[in-house]
Chains A and B, each alone.
Chain A
Amino acid sequence: METSYETIVIGGGVVGNGIAFHLSERYKEGVLVLDKKYPMSGTSGSTQAWVWVHNKTPSWYAEFNMYSAELYPYLSKKIGDVEYKRTGGLSPFFNESDREKAKQLAESYRKIGIKIKVLSREKVLEKEPFMNPEVAGATYSSIDGNVNPFRLIDMYMRASKKNGVHYSTYNKVTEIQKQDGKYIVVSDQATYVCKNLILAGGTWSRELGEMLGIKIPVNQLRGQILVSEPLKPFLNFTISGLRQANNGEVLMGYSMEQAGFNRATTLDVIQETANMAVRYVPALGKAKIVRAFSGIRAMPEDGFPILGKVPGFENLYVAATHSGVTLSPLIGTLITELILDGETSIPIDRYSLSRFG
């Protein structure tokens, strides 16, 4: 078994896979992806997988998300059909008082090139006829959409393998050492040596960092999602809170709870979510819910991605963030540039781990 690699990526989620794939496009040196279980067993396999820009704040962060969303059509061409759909995103509001906030959002984003419209009640119902007629309005952006997260990771892995990337699954990293300018990565199955090491451990980033004495301040934030039986296509947009998948299932939910690594679902939040969904789209009331799942967001302490070189450690990189699905193609591109070119095409200093002091 090969144990010496140019680059090791720890974490086979959507972030780690995005990096591995983009690296493999330019660089045929040995790349290994290590996963403690199997890709998709963590956050990347338990998401609604919106590719979402339009009301992320502040504006510089929305802009960052927009760049990534723009990469999706190209990504599909490179790795194959990942069921990416740029449906446009609709965020309904039910109180007239929210219209002012929506207008301020639209105005602020117009300046950075993200087009957001504030729709009237009539316009919302024209675009999305099954929306609750009690809706007051909605913000709308054409850049939002969604993707099939399982297809996305499957296709990333297939393309990466084709380009020579190795994967080792059910292989948990237990120890990392820096020695003679190299990283020694000890795992359940073997001990590896590499020059470049990328920490893409998602919710487990803090634990990975500790192996090198680095503080990566990532916390956990649970979300619970309901899935309906397949319904005939009737929702046109990615609505903030629910979307219809290609096979007709509707995924619904937008909840946040601090529950550490506990991935249980609770009837309390399931019922709240059901309530939200029938309020948005009353016709969903007759649909059967076949399952609920929960996923744990990797939430950096200040809410923004942690990306780039780890200060004080040569050839050590970190990529830890929520919204991994939206940001994956951009993060993959930028980390690849950082490793191969030493600089990135758009600045990422703002996202450096150094901001936490």
Chain B
Amino acid sequence: METDVLIIGGGPAGLAAAIETATRGLDVTIVDESSSLGGQLCQQTQLIRPLPSVYQPMRGFELAKVLTEQINDFTVGTLLNHRVIGLYADGSVGLSDEEKVFPVKAKKIVVATGAAEQAVAFPKWTLPGIITIGAAQTLVNRDFVMPGKEAVIVGSSDFALDVASQLLEVGVEVKGIVEKNPAAAAREKEKTDALIGRGIPFYFNSFIKEARGNGQVEEIDIEVNGEILTVSADVVCIDGGRSPILDSFYQLGCSFGYQKELGGWIPQYNRQFKTDRENVFLAGNAAGISQQGALLLTGMIAGISICEDLQTIRSGEAEEIRDALWEELKLSEYKDVWEGRTKHIEKFSSPVLKDQFIS
């Protein structure tokens, strides 16, 4: 099959790119592994802000619905329950619907594959009941399953604290939040204050020394300032940070750079959110871990740039829109992330890793 624009990943960034390209007359196809559009937004009950000026602040799952409704008015093909398998020699992307593998030839590709949660290793971290913070949220908000009765949270990012609150709401006892640094990592101080207000202990300068349990986590040892504190828990939620999912970029032959503020290894791209492979664009967390509002903006920029390349919008107009979106992006993400992104773009022509298949 053929399409003007193939968008890999139907999360917020992919949907934003789809809206920009489909509303400007392009034939757009979105592929996503799951059975619905919206990506991680679908299980996010927290309020998302700031959002690009065209949207009012709303909860994650509401935003997923608003974005999905917008593309429904246009000719956007959605290949749900489809996944990318790899790449053909002629550049076509190989998809599978679990019955066959078939090529899709696209004039432009947007990779918006999002981020993956990182592991934190300690003795017996592989015991059942020890899960990622994102998995805990999915269980509670999407599957309506209680992950356990007594939880310990490892890590104190904004996201970890959001999920801690959500666990409390459904009646999980949060026994403590373990943070290796001397202060909470969350940027929004009120999140920390709210949990402290509810009597949730924060253990700073701390880490998990060991987990124990018979076929399932039962208790953990937390090392707090050199002392061991044993806490009973049947679920331990690990926030090891997130990093961009890169498999598709790697197969497409894109170059990579390293930018700590954006989540580590990341495809090299320019102001158009275009990689150094002709016709391959990117958006969202795959272009650097940031906040939801910023992810939408990156998708919009990629979409506008594709419209410009395929001449459904004049170059001057595209440049104007793009400048405005970049201005808004600057205000929508944390300063260090923004600076990391700016640095990353400056290094467009000097990637750390390139020609990965040439030996």
Contact = CB atoms under 8 A, between A and B. Distances in A.
Asked if the two chains touch in their complex, CB atoms less than 8 Å apart, one says: yes
A261 B101 contact: no
Nearest to B92: A267
Given A267-B85, A267-B86, A262 B101 contact: no
Contacts of A262: 357-358
Given A262-B358, A267-B85, A267-B94, 13 more contacts: A41-B359, A203-B359, A261-B358, A262-B357, A263-B358, A263-B359, A264-B253, A265-B86, A267-B86, A267-B88, A268-B88, A268-B89, A271-B101
Interface string A246-264: 0000000000000001111
B345 interface: no
Contacts of B101: 267, 271
A288 B89 CA distance: 23
A322 to B, nearest CB: 15
A267 B87 contact: yes
A271 B251 CA distance: 16
Q: How large is the interface on A (under 10, 10 to 19, 20 to 34, 35 or more residues)?
A: 10 to 19
B301 to A, nearest CB: 29
Contacts of A42: 359
B254 to A, nearest CB: 13
28 contacts: A41-B359, A42-B359, A203-B359, A261-B358, A261-B359, A262-B357, A263-B357, A263-B358, A263-B359, A264-B251, A264-B253, A264-B357, A266-B86, A266-B88, A266-B89, A267-B85, A267-B86, A267-B87, A267-B88, A267-B89, A267-B94, A267-B101, A267-B103, A268-B88, A268-B89, A270-B86, A292-B86, A296-B359
A271 B85 CA distance: 11
Contacts of A271: 101
Nearest to B101: A271
B343 to A, nearest CB: 28
Interface in A213-262: 261-262
Contacts of B85: 267
Interface string A15-37: 00000000000000000000000
Interface in B233-292: 251, 253
A42 B358 CA distance: 11
Contacts of A296: 359
Contacts of A261: 358-359
Contacts of B357: 262-264
Interface in B66-112: 85-89, 94, 101, 103
Nearest to B253: A264
Nearest to A262: B357
Interface string A261-284: 111111110110000000000000
Interface in B345-359: 357-359
Contacts of A41: 359
A120 to B, nearest CB: 36
A305 B358 CA distance: 24
A39 to B, nearest CB: 14
A158 to B, nearest CB: 25
Contacts of B94: 267
Contacts of A266: 86-89
Contacts of B251: 264
Contacts of A265: 86
A41 B358 CA distance: 12
Interface in A82-125: none
A269 to B, nearest CB: 8
Contacts of A263: 357-359
A278 to B, nearest CB: 13
A344 B48 CA distance: 76
Contacts of B88: 266-268
A268 B251 CA distance: 14
Contacts of B358: 261-263
A263 B253 CA distance: 11
Interface in B318-359: 357-359
B230 to A, nearest CB: 37
A13 to B, nearest CB: 12
A262 B357 CA distance: 5
A270 B85 CA distance: 11
A83 B94 CA distance: 36
A258 B101 CA distance: 25
A263 B89 CA distance: 12
Q: Point out which of B85, B86, B103, B359 has the most chain A C-beta atoms below 10 A from its C-beta.
A: B359
Contacts of A292: 86
A292 B357 CA distance: 13
**Residue in A41, A203, A266 whose Cβ sees the most chain B Cβ within 10 Å:** A266
A296 B94 CA distance: 24
Contacts of B359: 41-42, 203, 261, 263, 296
B177 to A, nearest CB: 36
Nearest to A46: B359
Nearest to B94: A267
B98 to A, nearest CB: 12
A138 B351 CA distance: 51
Interface-centre pick from B88, B103, B253 (highest chain A CB count, 10 A): B88
A69 B251 CA distance: 37
A271 B359 CA distance: 24
A312 B359 CA distance: 31
A268 B86 CA distance: 10
Contacts of B86: 265-267, 270, 292
- CB-based closest 6 A-B pairs: A264-B357, A267-B94, A266-B89, A267-B86, A267-B88, A263-B357
Interface in B201-256: 251, 253
Contacts of A268: 88-89
A266 B88 CA distance: 5
Instruction: With a 10 A CB-CB cut-off, give which of A41, A267, A270, A271 has the most chain B CB atoms.
Output: A267
A177 B89 CA distance: 41
A162 to B, nearest CB: 30
A258 to B, nearest CB: 13
Nearest to A41: B359
A292 B86 CA distance: 10
A267 B92 CA distance: 9
Contacts of B87: 266-267
A218 B36 CA distance: 52
B353 to A, nearest CB: 14
B94 to A, nearest CB: 4
A274 to B, nearest CB: 9
Nearest to A296: B359
